[in-house]
Amino acid sequence: MARYILTRLLSLLISLTVASAVIFALIEIIPGDPAAFMLGINAQDDTIAALRAELGLDTSPLERYFGWVSGMVTGDFGTSYTYRTPISEMIAERLWISLPLALIALALSTLIAFPVGILAASKRGSLTDTIVMGFTQLGVAIPNFWFAMLMVLVFAINLRWFSAGGFPGWDEGLFTGLKALTLPAISLALPQASILARVMRSALVDTLDEDFMRTARAKGLNRRQAIQRHALRNAMIPVLTIIGLQFSFLLAGAIIIENVFFLPGLGRLVFQAISQRDLIVVESVVMLLVFAVIVVNFAVDIAYVLVDPRLRRQG
Amino acid sequence: MKTNRNLVVGAALTGFFTIAALISFLWVPYDIEALNIADRMKTPSFSHLLGTDHFGRDILSMVMIGARTSIAVALVAVGIGMGLGVPLGLAAAARKGSLLDELIGRGNDLVFAFPSLLIAILITATFGPSALNAIIAIGIFNVPVFARLTRGSALSIWKRDFILAARVSGKNSAQISVEHILPNLSSLLIVQGTIQFSLAILAEAALSYVGLGAQPPTPSWGRMLADSQTMISLAPHLALAPGLAIVFTVLGLNLLGDGFRDVFDPRLRRGRT
Amino acid sequence: MTLLEIEGLSLSINGSPILKDISLSLKQGRILGVIGESGSGKSMTAFAIMQLLPSGSKATGHLRVLGFDMLAASEDDLCKMRGNDVSIVFQEPATALNPLKTIGDQVAEAILIHEPSTTRAGAQVRAQTTLERCELPAEQFPLTLYPHELSGGQRQRVVIALAIALRPKLLIADEPTTALDVTTQAEVLQLLKRLVTEDQMGLMLVSHDLAVVAGMADDIVIMKNGEIVESGVATAVFQQLRHPYTRALYAASEHVPDRTPPRSTARLLSVTNLVRDYRLPRTALFAAPQYFRAVDHVSFDIFKGESLGLVGESGCGKSTLTRAILGLETVQGGEMYLDGMPIAGGRHVDRKIRRRMQAVFQDPYGSFNPRHRVDRLISEPFHLYEEPPSSDEKNEAVVGALRAVGLSPEDQFKYIHEFSGGQRQRIAIARALITQPELILLDEATSALDVSIRAQILDLLAELANSYGLTYLFISHDLSVVRAITDRVLVMRDGRIVEEGKTEQVFSAPQHPYTRSLIDASPVLPKNANH
């Protein structure tokens, strides 16, 4: 068990190192000098040089890479080229929108998908199964940003239940904040819930065919008891994998959904930074998101061990 | 064999949009580069079946050409994913536990840590937005999908006795991979290919919606939706046509994939005596 | 008291008939053996009694357990009976237990579900007692173990424990020892017999193996194609062999093909001090790698034209040894010569040597690429020629090989799924013959076949050996088959050859205690005067 966690931890560190190197290298080969860009076309050469020194751009790439990484480890992401403010502050502010959004969406997606998937699997082949799976088929096909636009049209413009976009800030109270995140979270969650429900159903259907389910029935358990006590936990293994993957989809999806609802989250920050060539911001936000994905996958690996005793004794 | 409903509906939907895309090379109802401000924001009518946009361009013509963009980007991207992923997966399975296998596995993990959109953002930040960069971003993301699937399924085929028989016949692992493993993976790859194709269409739409995909004046479904967003209360029909086009294309591909799976499923097909 | 009464039971699944007019009964304290080949409906009869049938099943007739009409019972009543009055032990111990739950929980669950008033702790105590009754003592097998930490035989004991935890009156065992090694099989059968006596149960033992049933059953039912062809008291059935099918089954089970003993004393294959080590997964991050020795200094010879048997239980290294001889393993020591020429292992392929030996494997379903036609399947070994033969020569060879194994030339255009298990094994032999090899390795080549098909394949092998002067290395766990088809035999255990000698000599007067235990554990058919 300890060995398993240790090897996973090691591979987490390796992934993080390689990912940071790749991100840094990509940003590094971008043509154009940020300092020159910031100062405009009329800038003097020596002013540019001074700014380059101030931004630390005159050192070697290797030095800058290690500076960047060691900074991030201590929570110092550097200074934005455009706004001249610490990036960690900018990110922290935005994270308070993007992270709750992704988490609410993940919770919503799981809460919808589990009962739906279990219902469809336990009534496999019935009319209920066909109808429910038909809806998930549709849910998988709908792009979340288009779904978001339709929701704005119906619930914000026509019914006026919610505002069409923007975020009042958490200072306005928890309820106001959550209300502003409701439509975005639903538009993010529904397509993902469709995928998860389909996975849940097929994992459960596969488990229902296993020999040990027959053993459980032979003991005298009825169908419902057999599913609850023996099938669900076995079906969780593939479902966990998908939940792990979904987190990264939700983070990425959040970037797009923030655009639909004009939410000042990490997504908007990235797009602004790209258009202003504020590369150090792009670099840091992307690294942060990759970090989140890698950590979640690590958590999923640990969850496997908790579910499956067969993994506890080996590597 | 009983006709499979998924397969028929899926093929019909996919076929419909593919044909629309192909026709658009030869003919579209209106020239979409000619702006006609007088006819702007028209609701559907006989002269403009799906209405016109804020520049007076015919929506039907734009959706047809948009189909071309979507399908082309997705097709090339999935092609890249399969073309690189399948050989990598075969090689990893043939040399299970070797350094090569380990490297391919780690590489896959790394790419999976970047959602396709993040890859697109990085590439766009580096090289600027374009359809080509969208293809690369979606394609890169597809490589590990196919590599993992191929490796996993190939490993289970490697355990079968007919591989042992091939080795007794002196075949090396490359020959076995091509002659024995790949043909037995083909149905699985077709199923996964259609599913990845539909995901690629969704990804392309998302990228062009945020402006990281095909650039104007090339029409794309995602950007049509982005353009329609500010006018959604005035002209909801602008958002409907491209959105439904995406939904039906993706739905068609998914149904096609399900249909293929039903038809190929060895549990249904293998006649055990 | 009659525990089980079946009268005129018929069963169809989605319209296709599975069982036709089955009648049988079982009394307390007795063992009923149900014998049949695959497709005979014997397992479906067992599932019908439990009323655990696939969806789309329709049963008619009478089926009573403890006087209770099972066909008319509600699902709730059936749940109360299953595990309590009637229990079942399945064939595959590897998959019959939930991998995520401890064995203690799984046995205790059987108690808790029927006696909800029992405390968790009380159920655990009773689970422990039941496991001990099934010869899994608490010191070695605590309740906290998971199924993957047990061997196949131990898992089957857990399955038996959860079946008998509530002391049901009726126990059904569906091929309970088919997946087990012969010594384990003997122990598990002994256990079942003891439990029947102690609890005064009725046991219905379903098996394909005549000898297994003969050693256990008081009464016997013989099934074929969903019908009962013969039934009666075991001793009478085996003595009289009235029904032709029973007689055929009996004859096939102890069939010995006609063979001419080998005369040559020339060595065809000689193996000296062969060693094969596998690297084990590391136990700690920086620990030195550990090795498992699958083949441990093995030496033996095969003479031209002889049939040499290699017997041993699963995991003894016989398959590894087979692959090493075929040149498919990288060996860590020793030498192998085929007709004086060294056999190289691993990636290096010496075609001249490879084409002089071929192999037939166990699984008739997995031995062929389902995407290739028979002609391509059979001619694959032509890859071992530097210059591939012309298509005419190839075709001639394919037709010749098909004829030799009793198939028709037209069969070359078919795909493998169009053939039955026995036909597939014939195609596998045809593939092995195509390069006109001298040595054929038969790795459990008849183990997956029904007895009647097995007898035909054994005849075919004997015939081919006579007409082509073939030499066989016959690898099997099944002692009766090895005795029927080999001249000499090697007994392998834990990677070593523990005994070697003339087949009849080894079987009638085994020297090594392990050989003796194997022979003692093997079930034997009762001698029959009429046969």
pLDDT of residue C285: 57
Nearest residue of C to residue A211 by CA position?
C96
C218 and C320 fall within a common domain: no
Query: Does residue C458 belong to any structural domain of this protein?
Result: no
Nearest residue of A to residue B111 by CA position?
A19
User: Mutating which of B108, B114, B254 best tests the A interface, going by the most A Cβ atoms within 10 A?
Assistant: B114
Spatial CB neighbours of C474, under 8 Å, sequence gap ≥ 6: C307, C308, C309, C310, C442, C445, C481, C482, C485, C486
pLDDT band of C28, cuts 50, 70, 90 = very high
- How far CA C268 is from CA of B8, B125, B168, C304, C429, in Å, comes to 61, 70, 18, 5, 20
C169 and C302 fall within a common domain: no
C317 and C384 fall within a common domain: no
Query: Does residue C102 belong to any structural domain of this protein?
Result: yes
Convert the pLDDT of each residue in C223-259 to its tens digit: 999 999 999 999 999 888 889 999 999 999 889 998 8
C352 and C400 fall within a common domain: no
What CATH number should be reported for the domain holding residue B205?
A: 1.10.3720.10
The answer to whether A195 faces chain B, any CB pair under 8 Å, is no
Q: Nearest Cα to B258, choosing from B191, B208, B158, B196?
A: B191
Q: Do B170 and C359 touch (CB under 8 A)?
A: no
The overall average pLDDT reported for chain C is: 92
Q: Nearest Cα to C5, choosing from C180, C170, C239?
A: C170
Query: Does residue C388 belong to any structural domain of this protein?
Result: yes
pLDDT band of C369, cuts 50, 70, 90 = very high
Residue B65 phi, psi (nearest 5): -70, -35
C106 and C206 fall within a common domain: yes
C interface residues, A as partner, C-beta within 8 Å: 50, 52, 55, 75-76, 79-84, 87-88, 90, 92, 95-101, 109-110, 113-114, 146, 148-149, 159, 162-163, 281-282, 284-285
pLDDT of residue B237: 82
Query: Does residue B34 belong to any structural domain of this protein?
Result: no
Residue B269 has pLDDT above 80, yes or no: no
Query: Does residue B110 belong to any structural domain of this protein?
Result: yes
pLDDT band of B268, cuts 50, 70, 90 = very low
Domain that holds residue B104: 5-24+51-272
Q: Do A309 and C146 touch (CB under 8 A)?
A: yes
Convert the pLDDT of each residue in C387-433 to its tens digit: 888 889 999 999 999 999 999 999 999 999 899 999 999 999 999 99
Q: Print pLDDT tens along chain A (315 aa).
A: 777 788 888 888 888 998 899 888 887 776 666 666 667 667 777 887 887 777 777 778 888 888 888 888 888 887 787 777 888 888 888 888 888 999 999 999 999 999 999 999 998 888 999 999 999 999 999 999 999 999 988 888 888 888 877 788 788 888 888 888 999 999 999 999 999 999 999 999 989 989 999 999 999 999 999 999 999 999 988 898 888 888 878 887 888 898 888 899 888 888 888 878 787 888 888 898 889 888 988 898 888 888 888 877 653
C196 and C104 fall within a common domain: yes
pLDDT of residue B265: 66
Q: How far apart are CA A245 and CA A239, in angstroms?
A: 10
The answer to whether C424 faces chain B, any CB pair under 8 Å, is no
Helix H, strand E, coil C: the string for C24-79 is: EEEECCCEEEEEECCCCCHHHHHHHHHCCCCCCEEEEEEEEECCEECCCCCHHHHH
The overall average pLDDT reported for chain B is: 85
The answer to whether B126 faces chain C, any CB pair under 8 Å, is no
Q: Do A14 and B106 touch (CB under 8 A)?
A: yes
pLDDT of residue C284: 60
User: Mutating which of B117, B208, B233 best tests the A interface, going by the most A Cβ atoms within 10 A?
Assistant: B117
Residues 120-149 of chain A with CB under 8 A from chain B are 137-138, 140-146, 149
Q: Residues C167-190: what's their mean pLDDT? A: 94
> Distance (Å) from the C-alpha of residue C316 to the closest C-alpha of chain A?
23
Q: Do A220 and C92 touch (CB under 8 A)?
A: no
pLDDT of residue B142: 93
Q: How far apart are CA C393 and CA C408, in angstroms?
A: 18
C236 and C335 fall within a common domain: no
Poorest-pLDDT segment among B194-203, B257-266, C13-22, C38-47: B257-266
Residue B206 has pLDDT above 70, yes or no: yes
Set of chain C residues whose Cβ sits within 8 Å of the Cβ of B273: 39, 420-421
H helical segments located in chain B: 5-26, 59-94, 99-113, 116-127, 131-158, 161-168, 173-176, 182-209, 221-229, 237-264, 266-269
The helix or strand, by DSSP H or E, that contains position C16, with its residue range, turns out to be: strand C16-27
Out of B118, B202, B209, closest to residue A289 by CB = B118
C40 and C113 fall within a common domain: yes
The answer to whether A225 faces chain C, any CB pair under 8 Å, is yes
C427 and C387 fall within a common domain: yes
Q: Do A141 and B248 touch (CB under 8 A)?
A: yes
B221 neighbors B142 (Cβ within 8 angstroms): no
C325 and C335 fall within a common domain: yes
pLDDT of residue A255: 84
C92 and C159 fall within a common domain: yes
Q: What is the DSSP string of A140-209?
A: HHS-HHHHHHHHIIIIIIIS-SS-SS----GGG-HHHHHHHHHHHHHHHHHHHHHHHHHHHHHHHHHHHT
Query: Does residue C471 belong to any structural domain of this protein?
Result: no
> Distance (Å) from the C-alpha of residue C163 to the closest C-alpha of chain A?
7
Set of chain B residues whose Cβ sits within 8 Å of the Cβ of C369: 162, 166, 179-180, 183-184
Convert the pLDDT of each residue in B108-139 to its tens digit: 888 888 877 788 878 877 777 888 888 998 99
pLDDT of residue B273: 25
Domain that holds residue C20: 2-253
**Domain ranges within chain A, ordered by starting residue:** 2-73, 87-314
Q: Do C99 and A309 touch (CB under 8 A)?
A: yes
Q: How far apart are CA C531 and CA C518, in angstroms?
A: 26
> Distance (Å) from the C-alpha of residue A246 to the closest C-alpha of chain C?
25
User: Mutating which of A219, A233, A312, A313 best tests the C interface, going by the most C Cβ atoms within 10 A?
Assistant: A219
A171 class by beta-carbon count within 10 Å (0-12 exposed, 13-18 middle, 19+ buried): exposed
Domain count, chain B: 1
pLDDT of residue A158: 84
Token reading at C191: 């256990």
Query: Does residue B268 belong to any structural domain of this protein?
Result: yes
List residues bridging with C32 in a β-sheet. C204, C219
Set of chain B residues whose Cβ sits within 8 Å of the Cβ of A11: 106, 109
Q: Residues C299-326: what's their mean pLDDT? A: 93
Query: Does residue B65 belong to any structural domain of this protein?
Result: yes
Q: Nearest Cα to A208, choosing from A221, A191, A222, A227?
A: A227
Set of chain C residues whose Cβ sits within 8 Å of the Cβ of B162: 366-369
The answer to whether A208 faces chain B, any CB pair under 8 Å, is no
Residue C450 has pLDDT above 50, yes or no: yes
pLDDT band of B270, cuts 50, 70, 90 = very low
Out of C328, C368, C420, closest to residue B167 by CB = C328
Kindly report the CATH class assigned to A87-314: mainly alpha
Eight-state DSSP code of residue B271? -
What CATH number should be reported for the domain holding residue C275?
A: 3.40.50.300
Q: How far apart are CA B228 and CA B237, in angstroms?
A: 9
Out of A19, A150, A274, closest to residue B113 by CB = A19
Query: Does residue C456 belong to any structural domain of this protein?
Result: no
The answer to whether C366 faces chain B, any CB pair under 8 Å, is yes
pLDDT of residue C222: 95
Poorest-pLDDT segment among B22-26, C94-98, C311-315: B22-26
C22 and C110 fall within a common domain: yes
Q: Residues C265-271: what's their mean pLDDT? A: 92
Q: Residues C321-338: what's their mean pLDDT? A: 91
pLDDT band of B8, cuts 50, 70, 90 = very high
Domain count, chain C: 3
> Distance (Å) from the C-alpha of residue A248 to the closest C-alpha of chain C?
28
